[in-house]
Chains A and B, each alone.
Chain A
Amino acid sequence: MASNAAVPFWRAAGMTYITYSNICANLVRNCLKEPFKAESINREKVHFSLSKWSDGKPQKPVLRSDTPQV
């Protein structure tokens, strides 16, 4: 079995498995042919607004989005 030090490169870089699989999925999506490529990229748009709370008060919300509002 591999030793404890042999973590995969992405884990060592601080990524979680979820981030890793999302990057792989994006790579696969970019390999598609048009028009399927545009459709699939359109399907997987990300948009939400996250705010951390401390001491019962919300901090400024961070918008995580593919389409940042102007």
Chain B
Amino acid sequence: MAMAVFRREGRRLLPSIAARPIAAIRSPLSSDQEEGLLGVRSISTQVVRNRMKSVKNIQKITKAMKMVAASKLRAVQGRAENSRGLWQPFTALLGDNPSIDVKKSVVVTLSSDKGLCGGINSTVVKVSRALYKLNAGPEKEVQFVIVGEKAKAIMFRDSKNDIVLSVTELNKNPLNYAQVSVLADDILKNVEFDALRIVYNKFHSVVAFLPTVSTVLSPEIIEKESEIGGKLGELDSYEIEGGETKGEILQNLAEFQFSCVMFNAVLENACSEMGARMSAMDSSSRNAGEMLDRLTLTYNRTRQASITTELIEIISGASALEAAK
């Protein structure tokens, strides 16, 4: 009891340098912490120790999440790069017309279901909103199809009247073409469109993902454009086998193109999500490490200060006894 009193007295003499950087870490639960006469707040070692333990745990968890994301990325990356070959023949045949002017555009926004993946979902939503502004106008209309929980939450705030479909839980099973094609089929059946604009994060490398827009036109628009000329005008130079007309072939091609482009977009978005999560968790573990260093310094300073205080008390007590003799 007496020692505790002496300890308190000793703390008041401490310069407040030790107290200032840790002013933010006060915890009301500790019984050792108090405020001195001069307004000096000092932290006991218990509080700092607890904080160090929790920061270390957080560091371990984020490191583990990074490893998991890295392994998942390795698995999906090969598939995403291979799936790029699915839509390339379509672009070679039909061209890419992102600036086409149509009456009804549908923006398909791809995002992730889980969080902690950095800023990729917000960039995708920003691009979707920009597309909306670009394409809205008199007689023109834009609707949204949202894939993924995160974009749904963000878009719900201000664009909810334009959402026509939302899809979640797509990542429960490993991504495959059957799943994406069923999804594409559902979109085709439920939404009328002249042009589909798919917004996703294209995977360039582990640290670089750019939001990209792929445009898929409906067969009627393709017919109209092919009359105008340009790349699509050369469609007539192709010979059509079998008993189908050009219109039918265009319809089949357009549906298949949508399905292939969706498949590639979903895979690339999954890669980007893993990459973004890796870098987010990496910076998070690094921050936790720095915080741990700072806390260790504070802990050592506090510990040494309390040892010094006890020594002072003992020595002054001893010298008082000597003087009293």
**Which A residues are within 8 Å of any B CB, using their own CB?**
1-2, 4, 6-8, 11, 16-19, 21-22, 25, 43-53, 55-58, 61, 63-64
Q: Are B244 and A64 in contact (CB under 8 A)?
A: no
Q: Are A46 and B179 in contact (CB under 8 A)?
A: yes
A19 contact set on B, CB distance < 8 A: 185
| Set B169, B170, B256: member contacting A18, Cβ < 8 A | B256
Number of interface residues of B (CB under 8 A): 37
Distance in Å: Cβ of B201 to nearest Cβ of chain A:
19
| Set B167, B176, B255: member contacting A43, Cβ < 8 A | B176
B161 contact set on A, CB distance < 8 A: 55-56
Q: Are A53 and B248 in contact (CB under 8 A)?
A: no
Q: In chain B, what residue has the closest Cβ to A44? A: B178
Q: Are A18 and B160 in contact (CB under 8 A)?
A: no
B122 contact set on A, CB distance < 8 A: none
| Set B160, B173, B181: member contacting A45, Cβ < 8 A | B173
Q: Are A18 and B244 in contact (CB under 8 A)?
A: no
A61 contact set on B, CB distance < 8 A: 168
Q: Are A44 and B176 in contact (CB under 8 A)?
A: yes
Q: Are B248 and A8 in contact (CB under 8 A)?
A: yes
Q: Are A2 and B245 in contact (CB under 8 A)?
A: yes
| Contact A17 B252, CB 8 Å, known A46-B182, A48-B168, A56-B161 | yes
A and B contact pairs by CB, cutoff 8 A, 7 listed: A2-B245, A44-B176, A44-B179, A45-B173, A46-B179, A48-B170, A63-B169
The docked-state distance in angstroms from the alpha carbon of A8 to that of B174 is 33
List 9 tightest A-B contacts by C-beta distance, closest first. Answer: A56-B160, A44-B178, A17-B252, A2-B243, A17-B255, A56-B161, A53-B163, A48-B170, A46-B179
Known: A1-B240, A57-B160. 15 other contacts (CB 8 A): A7-B248, A8-B248, A11-B248, A17-B251, A22-B181, A22-B182, A44-B179, A45-B178, A46-B173, A47-B179, A48-B167, A48-B183, A50-B167, A53-B165, A63-B169
Q: Are B255 and A47 in contact (CB under 8 A)?
A: no
Q: Are A52 and B164 in contact (CB under 8 A)?
A: yes
B133 proximal to A (CB < 8 A): no
Q: Are B164 and A47 in contact (CB under 8 A)?
A: no
The docked-state distance in angstroms from the alpha carbon of A58 to that of B182 is 20
